[in-house]
């Protein structure tokens, strides 16, 4: 039974160390192992100290945090449904939407839900195709899947294989989803250093894909340094089997942020983690490890950097980006601890593992990213809960900047950044820790608003559907989209 609460929990806790598709019948395949981040670690278990476990149990007993697995949320949020994992046991990852369907990535493949009744989503199909993270997007009859684990080949029955072997494969997979109950694997494109995430720039005849990847090594035949840009793939809609890399634009001619020891605690820039495009404005924002960038995509095959910023005090790993509706702000996230650490505590503080809000000032090639403030959830989490800023989307409310965002075991936060200098939370949903004794990776990977509802893909607990009823967000319920890939930002209004 849900506990409705609007209180803000603050407490003192100890600090832990921060630090082809196959439907119904599945082939046996080795588990997918992603490129070690920082960035989106799969479920792990790690013992915490006796005192940290005791602090967690005391906080539960005092009512400062929910009991293990208990669901809590603010009064303006309702939890409508949860669909546990089924045939795909791996870590749940990103989400995409089209019509009445939601597409949910998983390290072992992807799952398609019918969400025509959001209170009772139904599984349409499940596809086994290991290749973490399986970051997922859709466009028309095509579905795109990122593979960022070194595989023996590009098939859905591949096994893990060291990246040091020349025959190993990583990159993009393309599926035909014209029949949702029977997706068909139609194409694959190998990309340098694989594809950790990807972003679409869709056009009528072609779909351009910006592939983000990183962590090169002199020992990797297909991923050698320098790796200072993104791969651009061109996919002809009428002939996806002809998909190919058409360019690798260099975004960091100087190599980007050097990281430690020059900037201690900051990731060296060796590529981008995620890119968000805003096709209407011909803009994109890149979260690129040690750098945040703004670039022009008026020529999709030739993206061009306009401005670049760093935060060597509070940002450890630039993870993702979101524009506001008018395109004059960008919210960047910092994935401190790589998604596997408990950083939503008092000791870490409000400025690390947070969002950075930037205004876009100036015009044309003179546009600049100007820092305004940080936002972090105001509810401290236990030292057994991985928690940090992660994937979110706008809630399309005219005249306001409101976002819903995943925070792993910090849950789902709904917050207003209309005033760039004074962001504030207006609603939330979360579960209690998975364990009071052990740090277990889990929580909401992505939380997105689509056609009146919030959908969350929990790494461990499955697919959640939420609804917010609040005068500040009610106007968004009238906005209807035919398709949503959050990192290809639509003109909502």
Digitized pLDDT (tens) for each residue of the chain, 493 residues in all = 333 333 333 333 333 332 233 443 333 333 333 343 444 444 556 767 787 778 888 888 888 899 999 999 999 999 999 999 999 999 999 999 999 999 999 999 999 999 999 999 999 999 999 999 999 999 999 999 999 999 999 999 999 999 999 999 999 999 999 999 999 999 999 999 999 999 999 999 999 999 999 999 999 999 999 999 999 999 999 999 999 999 999 999 999 999 999 999 999 999 999 999 999 999 999 999 999 999 999 999 999 999 999 999 999 999 999 999 999 999 999 999 999 999 999 999 999 999 999 999 999 999 999 999 999 999 999 999 999 999 999 999 999 999 999 999 999 999 999 999 999 999 999 999 999 999 999 999 999 999 999 999 999 999 999 999 999 999 999 999 999 999 999 999 8
What is the Cα–Cα distance from 276 to 347, expressed in whole angstroms? 31
What is the Cα–Cα distance from 402 to 423, expressed in whole angstroms? 9
pTM of the model: 0.92
Q: Is residue 434 within 8 Å of residue 68, measured between CB atoms? A: yes
For tokens 């997706």, the residue is 183
What is the Cα–Cα distance from 184 to 111, expressed in whole angstroms? 13
């Amino acid at each position: 039974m849900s506990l409705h609460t609007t209180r803000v929990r603050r407490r003192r806790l100890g600090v832990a160390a921060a630090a082809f598709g196959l439907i119904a019948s599945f082939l046996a395949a080795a588990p997918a192992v992603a490129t070690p981040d920082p960035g989106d670690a799969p479920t792990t278990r790690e013992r915490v100290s006796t005192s940290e476990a005791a602090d967690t149990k005391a906080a539960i007993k005092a009512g400062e945090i929910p009991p293990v697995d208990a669901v809590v949320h603010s009064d303006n949020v309702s939890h409508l449904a949860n669909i546990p994992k089924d045939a795909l046991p791996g870590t749940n990852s990103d989400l995409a939407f089209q019509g009445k369907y939601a597409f949910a990535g998983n390290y072992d493949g992807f799952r398609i839900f019918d969400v025509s009744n959001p209170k009772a989503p139904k599984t349409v199909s499940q596809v086994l195709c290991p290749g973490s993270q399986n970051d997922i997007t859709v466009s028309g009859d095509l579905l795109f899947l990122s593979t960022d684990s070194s595989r023996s080949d590009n098939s859905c029955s591949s096994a893990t294989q060291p990246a040091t072997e020349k025959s190993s494969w990583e990159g993009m997979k393309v599926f035909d989803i014209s029949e949702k109950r029977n997706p068909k694997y139609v194409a694959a494109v190998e990309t340098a250093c694989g594809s950790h995430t990807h972003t679409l720039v869709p056009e009528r005849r072609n779909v351009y894909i910006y592939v983000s990847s990183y962590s090169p090594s002199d020992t990797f035949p297909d991923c050698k340094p320098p790796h200072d840009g993104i791969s651009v793939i061109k996919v002809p809609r009428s002939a996806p089997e002809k998909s190919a890399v058409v360019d690798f634009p260099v975004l960091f001619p100087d190599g980007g942020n050097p990281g430690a020891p020059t900037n201690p605690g900051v990731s060296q820039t060796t590529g981008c983690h995620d890119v968000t495009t805003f096709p209407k404005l011909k803009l994109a924002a890149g979260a690129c490890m040690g750098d945040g960038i703004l670039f022009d995509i008026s020529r999709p095959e030739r993206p061009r950097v306009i401005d670049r910023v760093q935060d060597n005090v509070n940002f450890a790993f630039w993870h993702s980006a979101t524009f506001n509706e008018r395109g004059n702000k960008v919210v960047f996230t910092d994935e401190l601890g790589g998604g596997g650490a408990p950083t939503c505590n008092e000791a870490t503080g409000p400025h690390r593992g947070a969002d950075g809000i930037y205004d876009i000032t100036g015009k044309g090639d003179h546009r600049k990213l100007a820092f305004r403030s940080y936002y972090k959830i105001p509810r401290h989490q236990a030292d057994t809960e991985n928690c940090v800023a992660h994937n979110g989307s706008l809630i399309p409310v005219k005249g306001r900047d409101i976002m819903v965002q995943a925070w792993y075991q910090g849950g789902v936060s709904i917050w207003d950044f209309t005033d760039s200098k004074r962001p504030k939370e207006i609603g939330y949903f979360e579960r209690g820790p998975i364990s009071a004794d052990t740090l277990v990776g889990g929580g909401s990977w992505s939380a997105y608003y689509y056609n009146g509802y919030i959908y969350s893909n929990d790494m461990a607990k499955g697919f959640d559907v939420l609804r917010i009823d609040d005068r500040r967000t009610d106007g968004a319920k009238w906005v209807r989209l035919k398709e949503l890939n959050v990192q290809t930002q639509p003109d909502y209004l």
